Chains A and B, each alone.
Chain A
Amino acid sequence: AQSVTQLGSHVSVSEGALVLLRCNYSSSVPPYLFWYVQYPNQGLQLLLKYTTGATLVKGINGFEAEFKKSETSFHLTKPSAHMSDAAEYFCAVSKSNAGKSTFGDGTTLTVKP
């Protein structure tokens, strides 16, 4: 069975500050890992994914995440927050590039001016 834990259901940062959203996973097989962003009244949008290879993954809008097997983590970061980054972020794990994904409960990011 696979599971995802997102530490902190709400994160608040100031504009221009570092964004760090935490994700830890559990998987019995090498995982495929994803981050999605959800803006109000919209569907989830893929930010980035890790499949194999390079453990530092760059995504859209300046976000990146690093797969750390020893820590079973896939934390999402962005060096400098913008107001437009305010949204809900979901981490997900899968056994493959397709098929069922297991999602965390999400982290709501607030960006203060």
Chain B
Amino acid sequence: GAGVSQSPRYKVTKRGQDVALRCDPISGHVSLYWYRQALGQGPEFLTYFNYEAQQDKSGLPNDRFSAERPEGSISTLTIQRTEQRDSAMYRCASSSMNYGYTFGSGTRLTVV
């Protein structure tokens, strides 16, 4: 597509529920990144992929968080057994080799 698309734009979920956040990167972009951004702070790295291979997941906070990109395009970030502290803006970005990131508009997750 023309830009990075994330869905849903907003998600409100009850504590303990699982959520899946979707990212559709720019067509042809090899790399896809997930970041989390708390209010008043910069984006914090979670994980990234080259094609379908997860290259670095060092930023995932705990084992409730996982991500996949099975066909090297669309990616899903899954949070199991959500907690209130998971509430944040989740941002996806994609990049080609010689450019910085192109970010999507993000998914605002609220855990109540």
- List chain A positions with a Cβ less than 8 A from chain B: 4, 9, 34, 36, 41-46, 49, 90, 92, 97-106
Interface size in chain B (residues, C-beta < 8 A):
29
B55 CB–A CB distance under 8 Å: yes
Instruction: Please give, as numbers and ranges, the residues of chain B lying within 8 Å of A103 by CB-CB distance.
Output: 35, 42-44
Residue of chain A at shortest CB distance from B31 = A98
- Near A by CB (< 8 A), chain B positions 25-69 give 31, 33, 35, 40-45, 48, 50, 55-56, 58-59
User: Which one of A42, A44, A97, A99 lies within 8 Å of B43 (CB-CB)?
Assistant: A44
Do B102 and A100 touch across chains, with their CB atoms under 8 A apart? no
> Which stretch in B11-19, B79-87, B91-99 binds the other chain?
B91-99
Task: List 15 A–B pairs whose Cβ atoms lie within 8 Å, in order of A's numbering.
Answer: A41-B105, A42-B105, A43-B4, A43-B102, A44-B103, A46-B101, A46-B102, A90-B43, A97-B99, A97-B100, A99-B55, A100-B33, A100-B56, A103-B35, A103-B42
**In the assembly, what is the distance between CA of A96 and CA of B67, in Å?**
22
